[in-house]
Amino acid sequence: MINLIPYFLIFSIILPSKEIRVSFSDSSTISYKGYHPAHNWEGVSEKLKGGVICKDSTFSDCIIKVIVPLDSFDSGSSGRDSNMLFYTESNKYPFVKFSSNSFNMKNMIDVESSLSGILEFHGIKDTISSQINILNQGSILSGSAQFSISLDYHNVERPQLLFVPISDEIDVECVLFCKNDFSKFLSKE
C-alpha cells in the first residue's frame, strides 16, 4: 500500500488555496449621525479602506475589514468637525476599525442577514452586531448596514451646547461597494 501523505503535502505546498480579496470602491461611504435637542447633524467619510477577504473560492470563510480615519468625516461645519476630532482624541486614536466574524458569502447574497464583529473606536474594542444587506448586482456587490454606538461606553467625553450634552448614542450607516470579481462563484446552486 502506498503512503499518500507525502504526496498530499507536496500538492498542498505547490497548490495552496488562493485567498480572494476584493477592495471597497471609492464610492463607498460611512456616515454617523449625532443628536442634540438644538439640532442633529451627519458626518460623512468617503476615505474608508478595506474590503471582503475570503479564504478561497468556496466563499464559506469570509470576513469584512474596514478602516476609516476620523479626520476624513465631513459634517459641513469645520468647527463641529474639529470639535469631534478634539473629543474623540483623534491625535491619539486616529482610526475607527471594524473586522467581522467569519461568514459564508453565498448564504448572505440577496438576503438580509446578521453580521457581528469587532469595532475599535477610541482605543476600545467592542463586539457589535448589525443587519447587513449584500446585493449581487452583476459586476458590482453592494452592502449596507446600520448600527449604533455609545460614546459613554467608548469613554468619549460628550461636548455640550447650552449646557446640554449631545446624545450618548451615535448612529452609523455603511454603504459599501466593490467590484464583483467573483460573480461566477456566487451563483446560488
Transcribe 25-89 into DSSP letters.
PTT-EEEEEEEETTEEEEEEE---EEEEEESSTT-SSEEEEEEEEGGG-B-S-HHHHHHHHHHTT
Using one digit for the tens of pLDDT, what is the confidence trace for 87-130? 999 999 999 999 999 999 888 888 899 999 999 999 999 999 99
Query: Class of 19-186 per CATH?
Result: mainly beta
User: What is the pTM assigned to this prediction?
Assistant: 0.82
**What residue type is 128 in one-letter code?**
I
Using one digit for the tens of pLDDT, what is the confidence trace for 151-167? 999 999 998 888 888 89
